Amino acid sequence: MFYLELADGDKFFTDKNSEDVREFDKIIHEKLGRDASDLFELLVHDSEDKAAYVLHNVAVRYKDCVNRLDAALNDKEVDKVKLEEILSDLQAIYTDYLL
């Protein structure tokens, strides 16, 4: 759902169940033409691809940290250096992707 007022005075208000990207694309197509609409679609898909890439990297790195933590905690003697390395890697995931 969004409200949009254009410089030419046209106003658009979508309902709460609307697909915002699709509605916005219609407005772009109507006001700026097919080329602008195609460019918007490419930008949206590029953003989706980047988001999927980031989520995949976070999942892989997080799973690796969890596996290493599990192994370190199951050792007969807990190695604080290993735990600090894993904690550092978890903090890096947080700062690299979540801040």
pLDDT at position 54, please? 93
Q: H-helix or E-strand containing 1?
A: none
Tokens of 11: 């106003």
Per-residue pLDDT tens over the stretch 66-85: 999 999 999 999 899 999 99
For residue 82, give its domain range.
50-99
Tokens of 78: 């807990």
Domain count, the chain: 1
The model's pTM is 0.67
Per-residue pLDDT tens over the stretch 16-67: 999 999 999 999 999 999 999 999 999 999 999 999 999 999 999 999 999 9
Note whether residue 63 is domain-resident: yes
Give the mean model confidence (pLDDT) for residues 1-13.
92
Note whether residue 8 is domain-resident: no
Note whether residue 41 is domain-resident: no
Note whether residue 13 is domain-resident: no
Note whether residue 72 is domain-resident: yes
Note whether residue 34 is domain-resident: no
**Whether the predicted pLDDT of 97 surpasses 90:** no
Among residues 27, 20, 17, 29, which one has the least CA distance to residue 2? Answer: 20
pLDDT at position 78, please? 87
